[in-house]
Amino acid sequence: MIALLGVVAAIIAVWLYFGFLETLLVTSILGILYVLVFHSRWCYIAIKTAPRDLRALWCYLKILIMTRRLTKKDWTLPDIFHETVQKHPDKPCFLFQNEVWTFEEVENYSLRVSAVLKSLGVKKGDIVGLLVNNCAQMPALWLGNARLGGITPLINTNQRGKALIHSINVAKCDVLIFSDEYESAIQDISSELSSLIKLFKFTHRPLNPSNPVTKASGDGITDLTSLLENTPPMPWALADANGFQGKLLYIYTSGTTGLPKAAVISNSRYVFMACGLHHMRLNSSDVVYCPLPLYHTAGGVVSVGQALVFGCTVILKPKFSASQYFPDCAKYKATAAHYIGEMCRYVLATPPSPADKQHSVRVVYGNGLRPQIWTEFVTRFNIKYVTEFYGATEGNANIANTDGTPGAIGFVSRIFPKIYPIAIIKVDQETGEPIRDSHGLCQLAQANEPGVFIGKISPNNPTREYLGYVDKNASEKKIVRNVFTQGDSAFISGDILVADEFGYLYFRDRTGDTFRWRGENVSTSEVEAVISNIADQRDAVVYGVLVPNIEGRAGMCGIVDDNNSLDLDKLAKDLARDLPPYARPVFLRVMTSLDMTGTFKMKKTDLQKEGFDPSMVKGDKLYYLDLKNGKYLSLGPEEFQRISNGQIRL
């Protein structure tokens, strides 16, 4: 305050002595000196982060320009794809195994789909579910439906039984198209499906118009592929749909907890997600390697969108293989490659080989590259750029690491904090509830303070709209109101992030995954990363379990040991070296395999319910940590009772 009064006094003195112009010059100099002296750290941060922020601002402007153009035209994805096709009809669009599909061939196939579905009575607003494995025809199937104004739920091909019934019913499907390999799964649930749902079987084979039309079989299932082979493409025309803001797809959450929820993807949201990634490091001449399932946002929107919207060639794989990841990239001459979840850890765990660097991949992009292996991964495989991005399928908050800072999933600008309306707010890390001030408003988390990531909702802005889920009640649970002003709202991600002083954002955990033990917060994702590193990249999932008469939750780790080579004494010693006492798992569950979602996230809900009770755990070995000796000891019914009544102290 005294310094500020001194500056003001100096300005007045100069003005009295010299006059206005001289005063203006001196004032400017004094102002600069004041900022440099009293806000030197902010100046340093601003100078250091300006290139990053300006690059991202330019990308954001390009996204806004494109979305404004498409909003004005009111185009849907089939219309946008047609514009891409016109630019290079003979260029390869999708490479799948030994098949090469040009842009024109993909569009013609989608026009066949439109013709067949229209002849079968599918119309604007109908819901056509898709349970189809990865192939070049899969995007063409939903493009054909979208041209008629239909909406396509992309159903997880791993679902069976109740989960599959739920996915079909929650989307209110009128039609279901399924790959022939899932016919038995459909037959198992057919008695529980509505008799009004039309069932079409899709078979992946080269297009052969000479095949005879196959009628519906006795079980009421029509051979869609035969119909496509005998139906000419309908003439191209603008889609009979609800325009750029209209619904395009339903994409289901991964289902790490409970039944999957169907998130709404509009045409504008599809373009925004594809566009945001593209402008970070890609260009239309890139050949993109995508080994991800196309029923999720990562593969079906972010990667496939590079072909549909920007004209890239996209390599599709039936299934991810760690050992074939970079050999495939070399085979197909990929220049960009997609990863997600634990993929990079699996690829890194493969034996070193000369093929590690015999590829043309310039950039890898995705989410889930752990900070602990980031540098080792890019060094071993000679990757020039990494674009780590973050975003929820159902949300409106997407960010990206634009300069390859190891471990960062994005950033908030320290110079222009309000240009892109995202923030980290203070929450109770166990309940996820926002911590509010005396006025009932949310509070911003400070640098290096954990908080939950949010995205401000602006219904009239395609980049800020929130469409949520098909289930409106589920959508409402993801909205926080009265955020920074009374009456405003934001999408709340449920993810705990932390920002450093430069604005770089780092993932900590999901709310609910963080637990307290010995008075300390334990991040399950951080402990998982440490355990995987010291246990030769084994799958490891960490969760908190209740112990009778003890406050908080004890850490428990499910770890995969499929060849009985896990050295528990070494593991205990290494954990003591790399983790503080409160973060070391108190219990171990040694398993032969671990359930994963389609996006390579580890499932932990059932493990958490079973806890460390031997009567609940079938087929796996249990251990507890003997703190006195620093070793993991076998845990059976007797040890369980002694732990429960306090005879064995944790």
The CATH code of the domain that includes 526 is 3.30.300.30
- Amino acid at position 203, single letter: T
- Indicate the residue among 35, 60, 85 that finishes a domain: 60
- Indicate the residue among 16, 44, 60 that finishes a domain: 60
608 belongs to a structural domain:
yes
638 belongs to a structural domain:
yes
Under DSSP, the state recorded for 415 is: S
- Indicate the residue among 60, 80, 97 that finishes a domain: 60
Is 22 in a helix, a strand, or coil?
A: helix
Strand partners, 551: none
Contacts of 39 (CB under 8 A, 6+ apart): none
Number of domains into which the chain is organized: 2
Give the pLDDT confidence score for residue 324 in this predicted structure.
96
Instruction: Say how far apart CA 128 and CA 545 lie, in whole Å.
Output: 42
392 belongs to a structural domain:
no
Q: At what angle do helices 77-87 and 267-281 cross, to 10 degrees?
A: 40
Residue 116 class from Cβ within 10 Å (0-12 exposed, 13-18 middle, 19+ buried)? buried
Tokens of 185: 């799964």
Domain residues for the domain of 585 are 513-644
Q: What are the C-alpha distances in Å from 148 to residues 201, 223, 294, 622?
A: 20, 20, 21, 55
Question: What are the φ and ψ backbone dihedral angles of 196, each rounded to 5 degrees?
Answer: -85, -15
181 belongs to a structural domain:
no
Give the pLDDT confidence score for residue 242 in this predicted structure.
93
615 belongs to a structural domain:
yes
Burial 562-601 (b: 16+ CB within 10 A, else e): eeeebebeebbebbeeebeeebbbbbbbbbeebbbbbbbb
185 belongs to a structural domain:
no
Q: At what angle do helices 137-147 and 77-87 cross, to 10 degrees?
A: 120
Which residue stretches of the chain have pLDDT < 50? 212-216, 218, 256-257
611 belongs to a structural domain:
yes
DSSP secondary structure letters along 340-388: ETTHHHHHHTSPP-GGGG-S---EEEEE---HHHHHHHHHHTT-SEEEE
Give the pLDDT confidence score for residue 421 in this predicted structure.
82
- Amino acid at position 500, single letter: D
User: Average pLDDT, whole number, for the chain?
Assistant: 87
Tokens of 147: 């041209």
Q: What are the C-alpha distances in Å from 180 to residues 205, 221, 649?
A: 11, 11, 56
How many CB atoms within 10 Å of residue 17? 10
- Amino acid at position 29, single letter: I
In degrees, rounded to 5, the angle at the alpha carbon of residue 272 between the alpha carbons of residues 266 and 276 is 155
Give the pLDDT confidence score for residue 396 in this predicted structure.
82
627 belongs to a structural domain:
yes
Sheet holding 554-560, edge to edge: 540-545, 554-560, 587-591, 621-626, 631-634
Give the pLDDT confidence score for residue 129 in this predicted structure.
97
Q: Is the dihedral of CA 314, 318, 320, 323 positive or negative?
A: negative
Q: What are the C-alpha distances in Å from 305 to residues 157, 262, 414?
A: 20, 20, 31
CA-wise closest residue to 294 among 502, 417, 139 = 139
